[in-house]
Amino acid sequence: MKKMAIAGALATAALLTGCGVVGGPTQQEEISYDVADKVTKLVLDSESGDIVVNESDRAGIRVVETRHWNNDKPNAQHKVNGDTLDVSYDCPDVFVNNCSVDYRVEVPKGLELTLETGSGDLTLRTLSGVVRAKSGSGNISASGLVGKQFRAETGSGDVELKYASTPDEIKVETGSGNASVWVPQGPYDVQTKTGSGETEVAVTDEPGASRKISLETGSGDVKVLLG
């Protein structure tokens, strides 16, 4: 692990009381920081909370954390390991403390992303790198995609991927929820499977094609549409 170059770390606390359901987080604060280290991968692991990632022309990575808790603050960490920025948190005492962290992240072009939340939505915009996204319970929504590979998995929730350019490989799995992708005209080698739901394929499906699309859901619709 190497020391990070973190520029402009800001902490703005907005403590709130009596504003949640019983047992839910009643306080919050917002922390923002820039990571100037040259990394090629971001691994973000959230136990509970929403994740929003946008790509821009910036050189480094900017992270905004909104931390929620009722007794003790979340223990949030970020560190650089080689070419990877790892971002995560844990609750000090899971039995008596309710906490979560929402993340808003701005990344440079081409960054490889591994994103996971136990409970929460993932919203991704204009990404050009390889993406692996997973939510135990929550939706995964991505638009303006120009990357070549995307893998998405959710136990319960919908997955919607909208492409601005032709991908090489898409793989989506949902336990319960719809799986929908919008892509330019192919051809693609399309594989679909649903335990209970409708299937719609509006692109040229050519078995053995170099570009692959695989959509599978236990309960929900699967759609491959022209975008």
CB hemisphere CA count around 206 (13 angstroms): 8
pLDDT at 23: 60
Q: Which residue has the higher pLDDT, 59 or 13?
A: 59
Sheet bearing 149-156, strands edge to edge: 75-81, 84-90, 41-46, 112-119, 131-137, 149-156, 169-176, 212-217, 189-194
Q: What is the pLDDT of residues 23-56, one digit of tens each?
A: 677 899 999 999 999 999 999 999 999 999 999 9
Quick one: average pLDDT of 137-166?
Answer: 98
Q: Which residue has the higher pLDDT, 107 or 13?
A: 107
Asked whether the predicted pLDDT for residue 20 surpasses 70, the reply is: no
Quick one: average pLDDT of 8-26?
Answer: 46
| Confidence band, pLDDT 50/70/90 cuts, at residue 95 | low
- Token representation of residue 62: 């900017």
Partners of 107 in the β-ladder: 55
Quick one: average pLDDT of 64-82?
Answer: 95
User: What predicted TM-score, i.e. pTM, was given to this entire model?
Assistant: 0.88
224 touches 183 (CB < 8 A):
yes
pLDDT at 94: 61
Quick one: average pLDDT of 199-214?
Answer: 98
Partners of 42 in the β-ladder: 85, 113
> Mean of the per-residue pLDDT values for the chain?
90
Each domain of the chain, given as residue ranges in start order, spans 1-41+50-109, 121-227
Burial 81-106 (b: 16+ CB within 10 A, else e): eeeebbbbbebeeeeeebbbbbbbbb
Asked whether the predicted pLDDT for residue 3 surpasses 70, the reply is: no
Q: Which amino acid is at 67?
A: R
Asked whether the predicted pLDDT for residue 8 surpasses 90, the reply is: no
pLDDT at 52: 99
Reported in sequence order, the residue ranges of the chain that DSSP labels E, i.e. its strands, are 6-14, 27-35, 41-46, 51-56, 61-69, 75-81, 84-90, 99-108, 112-119, 122-125, 131-137, 140-145, 149-156, 159-163, 169-176, 179-183, 189-194, 199-201, 212-217, 222-226
| Interatomic CA distance for residues 157 and 121, integer angstroms | 9
